[in-house]
Structure 1
Amino acid sequence: MDLTSRAPSTSDPSDSGPTTSRLLFPQEDYNQLRPLSYPNTDVFLICFSVVNPASYHNVQEEWVPELKDCMPHVPYVLIGTQIDLRDDPKTLARLLYMKEKPLTYEHGVKLAKAVQKAPHSFVSFVFKIGAQCYLECSALTQKGLKAVFDEAILTIFHPKKKKKCCSGCHRCCSVI
């Protein structure tokens, strides 16, 4: 049977096939709604693209402060994505045009260890990013992808205390 013969008829109101609704909210509304999905979360994967420096900065400026505010006791893993594009000529040309470079593995480790000032607090204080570890992956090539999900599962069952990643930590920094 072809798929179009299974599609609901638009002329028959009694035909109630599956429907999908898409709700679009202004950014400020979405910022208020997003934390409603956080309860019962065991681990967060905070991702940034290694070929998009703005996404790297958003980790420190937006995502970590939001998670520290809404879910301070839930661990998170920092993930650098799109590592296959680090050597892609078109991507490198685009970044060069914008006077930027791909982010290195060392940038990710540095961010996982970073100390930051809390921007959303009446009392300004400093805190560590506190990522359980930093990993990199490519969905396209699947390099490092299994390690990301393995680490998420390990973090759920054996969360580390909030401490910075160390260079000698096998699960922490040696997997890319």
Structure 2
Amino acid sequence: MQSIKCVVVGDGAVGKTCLLISYTTGAFPKEYIPTVFDNYSSQVTVDGRTISLNLWDTAGQEEYDRLRTLSYPQTNVFVICFSISSPASYENVKHKWHPEVSHHCPGVPVLLVGTKSDLRNDGEIQRKLKEQNQTPVTHQQGAALARQIHAMRYLECSALNQDGIKDVFAEAVRAFLNPQPAVTKKPCVLL
């Protein structure tokens, strides 16, 4: 059986661990425990092919930057996460996460995932963000960022109510099985 290594990255507390636990066990974790490293394994059938999916959970906190990259070798696909309820985590995809994974693993497919989609219309979240002149990240903003970083897909999910989580990992498998053709860049010519 073919095996795929999928590494999940993103800011601390964006819901990476909840996404993985919810996907692998069907249950939402009750408390927040920051991750340093964790591994999960799941057998998944995508487009008629059964795959052993090895899921690597990573620490988003800055103090683990050097340690986290040790999990990157032999990665087949990255899932970069941000929280829909955290515009700062969305900005960090551009400024931290995408540069980090593309530096350490150039050419490895990337999925962009907006987590906590259940909070987009939450009144309390909207109020707190409004106090800072912010709003939850829109689907259009997520899709635009995915295009900007050349992600294979943009998906949204909610680990709390299981919305879209199976799609995230089915698409991660597809991103590896059906890679995008490399864009051939024309050389710069000065005349």
Same fold (TM over 0.5): yes
Residue 140 of structure 2 corresponds to residue 106 of structure 1: yes
Provide the rounded CA distance (Å) in 2 between the counterparts of 1:72 and 1:149. 21
Higher relative contact order (CA 8 A, sep 6+): 2
TM-score, length basis structure 1: 0.66
User: How many angstroms apart in 2 are the aligned matches of 1:140 and 1:90?
Assistant: 17
Task: Count the aligned residue pairs.
Answer: 126
Contact 1:80–1:136 (Cα < 8 Å) also in 2: yes
Distance 1:86 1:33, change over 3 A: same
Unaligned runs of at least 5 residues, structure 2: 1-34, 37-60, 184-191
| Rounded Cα–Cα distance in structure 2 between residues aligned with 1:28 and 1:136 | 25
Q: Is the 8 A contact 1:130 1:162 kept in 2?
A: no
Which of residues 97, 105, 127 in structure 2 aligns to 1:63?
97
Is residue 110 of structure 2 the alignment partner of residue 90 of structure 1? Answer: no
Of residues 137, 154, 165, the one that matches 1:145 is 165
One-letter amino acid of the counterpart of residue 105, structure 1: H
The alignment's C-alpha RMSD in Å is 2.0
Structure 1 stretches of 4+ with a deviation exceeding 3 A read none
8 Å contact 1:44–1:74 — kept in the other structure? yes
Q: Which residue of 2 aligns with 1:154?
A: 174
**CA offset at residue 30 of structure 1?**
2.3
Report the alpha carbon displacement of residue 138 of structure 1 after superposing the two structures with TM.
0.5
1:144 is displaced (CA, Å) by 1.1
Matched ranges for 1:160-171 at <5 A: 160-161=180-181
3-state SS in 2 of match to 1:91? helix
| Structure having the higher Rg | 1
1:117 corresponding residue in structure 2: none
3-state SS of paired residue (1:92): helix
Q: Amino acid of the residue matched to residue 157 of structure 2? A: C
Query: Which is richer in strand?
Result: 2
Whether the aligned pair in 2 keeps the contact of 1:132 and 1:162 (CA below 8 Å) is: no
Q: 1:34 to 1:59 in 2, by over 3 A?
A: same
* Identical columns (%): 46
Report how far residue 56 of structure 1 moved.
Answer: 0.3
Which residue in 1 is equivalent to 2:74? 40
Displacement after TM superposition at 1:133 (Å): 0.9
TM-score by length of 2: 0.61
Q: Which amino acid in 1 is paired with 2:159?
A: A
